[in-house]
Structure 1
Amino acid sequence: MDPLGARCQFVDIQTLPTWQQQLGEGVPLDPLDPLGPGDSLQDFPSPFPFRPDINRKIILFCDDVALLNCTAIVNTSNESLGDKNLVSDSVHRLAGPELKDELVKLKGCRTGEAKLTKGFSLAARFIIHTVGPKYKAKYRTAAESSLFSCYRNTMQLAAEQSMASVGLCVVSTAKRGYPLEDATHIAFRTVRRFLESHGNSLEAVVFAVSDSEESVYRKLLPLYFPRSEEEEKVSLPFIPADIGNTEGEPVVPERQIRIAEKPGTLEDDSEEESLRADLGQVGNHAFARMEGDVDKQRKQILQGQMSEAAILKQHQRNYGRWLCRARAEDLSDVAALKALYQTGVDMCGRTVVVLVGRNIPVTIIDIEKALLYFIHVMDHIAVKEYVMVYFHTLTGEHNHLDADFLKNLHDIVDAKFKKNLKAFYFVHPTFRSKVSTWFFTTFSVSGVKDKVRYLDTLQQLFTCMRPEQVDIPPFVLDYDARVNGPYQRSQS
């Protein structure tokens, strides 16, 4: 004990109530059911079910993270590890001057990384230093991916060092501009997924927040750490469409995709798969049965029995049911196909989504799961303008999509999918595929025909988007070079 009693300010985490013990203290959510009256979410299990064993490890602490007496606390800083912010200033002040000398040896830290030092005069034995991203709306997906890495690498480091407890500050500081609520969603789902898969050795995870941050944390905690089955049900409608992959990693992070050896990420590709898969077979599948209601609605529309507002509401409810299922089900098998993924942006700054026809095994894929995965991924992409690039390169008979199924898909997706799709680039089309697409867009669906652009070469595609902005499968590059000759970059 310091003779001046300095250590009396530190807080033993064993004296703090766990999140499970604080049942009833969360901020009530808006009771409005997004699916409307008469609909129920009880048939859709939550992707974050009630887990009292996990909840007992979670602590919400409204005070300075540097005060925690736990195995390690987290310090948020910049790339040089010399940032001046409320969290970092407090950590340095309580740890003492030795910390600054130690940080010099680390030679900085890249965004998303986590590095370890001793705690020195802190009650915590260690300090985990991490660097959050600078947020810009234009590069939102890259920022999401980096922030996920901060929390994931921090948790991984704690587990590798056999730490019993870790105190997490709010990694994204105000000067870095990351919206607090968006950052909190990423923090919670990343920690939740980590504890589900790798959290056996961790006994406590403390979220340390300021007074201004507490209300957001308390409001969102029930979504990812429901403390009862009732709270799980109440929270389900408010879980975001994008809950990441099985590790909590944001879907289709642009920066990660661009540097990957193979195009797309697990989540991205699976989404496209889902689309393609869904397009394959209809018959007696559950998807066809659900869409039967839509056919009935069409008859009612023709007979003048439904108002335009009622039609729109019914469509939104139907799509809402599919979206809730997409959030809840395990779709990793569809994801492994790697047939759809988000890449960069086109010349107009619009998001580019790639579809790879040859990677769609229409005859063997689970069509319903494929549709769910497509909806899960595309729901958050389609909220703003986007374009699609479809590589028809070397597709076979088993990759061809059923027109009836495509029409059903067109009918079920939300209006934003169609409204915000600005162009559909059809690369390496065949005569047969052009004829089929013409018939489909002319007689089966509306508002799509004028958006289709047939491109025989990659050079034509690169007039719409820069080569570095689109990840192209190697077999597509090889085919184009063989048929059209090597791509010649403009010297202008």
Structure 2
Amino acid sequence: MPEGMDPLGARSQFVDIQTLPTWQQLEVDGEHIPQDLSDSLLNQQSFPSPFPFRPDINCKIILFTGDVALLNCTAITNTSNELLNDKNPVSERIHQLAGPELKDELLKLKGCRTGEAKHTKGFNLAARFIIHTVGPKYKAKYRTAAESSLYSCYRNILQLATELSMSSVGLSVLSTAKRGYPLEDATHIAFRTVRRFLEKHGSSIEAVVFAVTDTEEAVYRKLLPLYYPRSEEEERLCLPLVPADIGNSEGEPVVPERQIRITEKPGSLEDDSEEDNLESDLGQVGNHAFARMEGDVDKQRKLILQGHMSEAAMQKQHQRNYNRWLCRARAEDLSDIAALKALYQTGVDMCGRTVMVVVGRNIPVTLIDLEKALLYFIHVMDHIAVKEYVMVYFHTLTGEHNHLDTEFLKNLHDIVDIKFKKNLKAFYFVHPTFRSKVSTWFFTTFSISSMKDKVRYLDNLQQLFTCIRPEQIDIPPFVMEYDARVNRRSQSSGL
């Protein structure tokens, strides 16, 4: 601890969010509604609002005027630049209270792209984690791109919080003055993104705290009722003030050109329209899409063999197909699959590569929707697979009802983006049985040969720890108990 830093003194400043009033508890004062507009609306029946009165959501919203670094949320947000070393008041205050270890930890993240979100420990903060994100630089002529990036910031923060089971999040104002984003415009995006996320995916999030300064508070207090009305009357009065542009069902900005491209059906096979017609022919990802996966891939292969589609066109089509799955994965409520804890991110291996864990016993294959399982895998892995990673699969104590069909695995392999396959550097198969080794050998030999050289069979955790340090991997208790029991048995039989 550096000289001059008083941890006890700092801790005494921390704010318990349980003591803060929720948005629903705050009195509806009507100050945000111009009186002439309020009077003229008394007899109107302008329902329904796109943001109806939801007390169950309002009770999760807290408006806090003060320092985000003081909140005892599970995670607070740090707004920074691409190198994660920005000098802005929010970031500097977080660094001051978290201590020097935060700077060292940020170096390991190797930066963060605009719109992304990455997390570190909270160190000396009351918050257990800090979620770091990079807001866009605003220019009027690139407004659409800036809106999309800012939406991604808020969406990725909340998605990361959900994936890591964080119950409360303290959101600083991400659109810093340094980056030139108009505060009111940015606040509309923040409110609608958070609102839509809580509606669709926020069952595990108990509190979202908007932390603002004195100068930002007026804008936040003015716009909050538009997206989080505290009564049906407030909903009715605020409806005329809700912007016409509220994004799609997730709050994401809608690009008109993109809408046209998706909805229009190409009329000829000239020039680049060959791929567009093929896309229409293969169909959009929707109901029963999982059953069509294999057909999509096989159809593309046949077209190549028949000379109707070039290799480049196939790759382009494959990318479009994957992007449709990714868009749907981001839009659907996958909380039931996430609750299984069958796939999660942990630390890094000896080479500094991200470690992903798959727990076989937590996959009730006969009970879950496999299409949703595929969507969840794509959703979680998309940002992981952009750089090198390894997977650890615990086969420990799995039964027949936990084993994924080889056809499912093959289809999964065929549909995921090329980066998934390229950046997967090792697949550690822990506690394999003889039968599972034989099955895996056949599968990797005849179905996905590119995986064969990446599979490593590990009979015990000690072998795993030669690749990944124990403190870098979250191992389910039943796996550790099984490993200890088997090791004792092996040692006894060897005596």
Band the TM-score falls in, shorter-chain normalisation: 0.5 to 0.7
Measured after TM superposition, the shift of residue 471 of structure 1 is 1.2
Alignment CA distance shift 1:390-1:378 (3 Å)? same
Q: Give CA deviations for 1:353-404 in whole Å, capped at 9, x if unaligned.
A: 1111111111111111111111110111111100001111111111111111
Alignment CA distance shift 1:481-1:300 (3 Å)? same
* Structure-to-structure mapping, 1:361-400, within 5 angstroms: 361-400=364-403
Determine the structure 1 residue equivalent to 2:66: 74
Measured after TM superposition, the shift of residue 193 of structure 1 is 12
Q: Which amino acid aligns with 1:348?
A: C
The answer to whether the aligner puts 1:413 opposite 2:416 as a matched pair is yes
Q: TM-score, normalised by structure 1?
A: 0.53
The answer to whether the aligner puts 1:214 opposite 2:180 as a matched pair is yes
Give the Cα separation in 1 of the matches to 2:440 and 2:160: 42
Q: TM-score, normalised by structure 2?
A: 0.53
Determine the structure 1 residue equivalent to 2:451: 448
CA contact (8 A) 2:366 2:401 kept: yes
Q: Which amino acid aligns with 2:357?
A: V
* Structure-to-structure mapping, 1:53-72, within 5 angstroms: none
2:119 pairs, out of 123, 144, 165, with 144
CA contact (8 A) 1:347 1:464 kept: yes
CA RMSD of aligned residues (A): 4.9
Give the Cα separation in 2 of the matches to 1:289 and 1:220: 41
Q: Give CA deviations for 1:409-438 in whole Å, capped at 9, x if unaligned.
A: 000000010000000000111111111111
Q: Give CA deviations for 1:451-477 in whole Å, capped at 9, x if unaligned.
A: 000111111111111111111111111
CA contact (8 A) 1:192 1:225 kept: no
CA contact (8 A) 1:388 1:425 kept: yes
* Structure-to-structure mapping, 1:271-420, within 5 angstroms: 285-420=288-423
1:232 pairs, out of 247, 256, 259, with 247
Q: Which amino acid aligns with 2:450?
A: G
Q: How many residues align?
A: 317
SS at match of 2:371: helix
Q: Which amino acid aligns with 1:51?
A: F
CA contact (8 A) 1:78 1:132 kept: no
The answer to whether the aligner puts 1:462 opposite 2:468 as a matched pair is no
Alignment CA distance shift 1:365-1:386 (3 Å)? same
SS at match of 2:361: helix
Give the Cα separation in 2 of the matches to 1:136 and 1:472: 25
Give the Cα separation in 2 of the matches to 1:17 and 1:151: 37
Q: Which amino acid aligns with 1:212?
A: K
Alignment CA distance shift 1:452-1:206 (3 Å)? closer
Unaligned segments of structure 2, at least 5 residues: 1-28, 38-48, 55-61, 72-86, 137-148, 162-170, 194-241, 256-286
Give the Cα separation in 2 of the matches to 1:53 and 1:150: 35
Unaligned segments of structure 1, at least 5 residues: 1-12, 22-48, 55-69, 80-84, 92-107, 113-130, 154-170, 195-204, 240-283
SS at match of 2:467: coil
| Greater relative CO (CA pairs within 8 A, separation 6+) | 1
Q: Give CA deviations for 1:109-146 in whole Å, capped at 9, x if unaligned.
A: 9649xxxxxxxxxxxxxxxxxx9965725247996366
Alignment CA distance shift 1:86-1:14 (3 Å)? farther
The answer to whether the aligner puts 1:485 opposite 2:485 as a matched pair is no
Q: Which amino acid aligns with 1:335?
A: A
Q: Give CA deviations for 1:255-282 in whole Å, capped at 9, x if unaligned.
A: xxxxxxxxxxxxxxxxxxxxxxxxxxxx
Determine the structure 1 residue equivalent to 2:438: 435
Measured after TM superposition, the shift of residue 480 of structure 1 is 1.2
CA contact (8 A) 1:111 1:146 kept: no
CA contact (8 A) 2:329 2:379 kept: yes
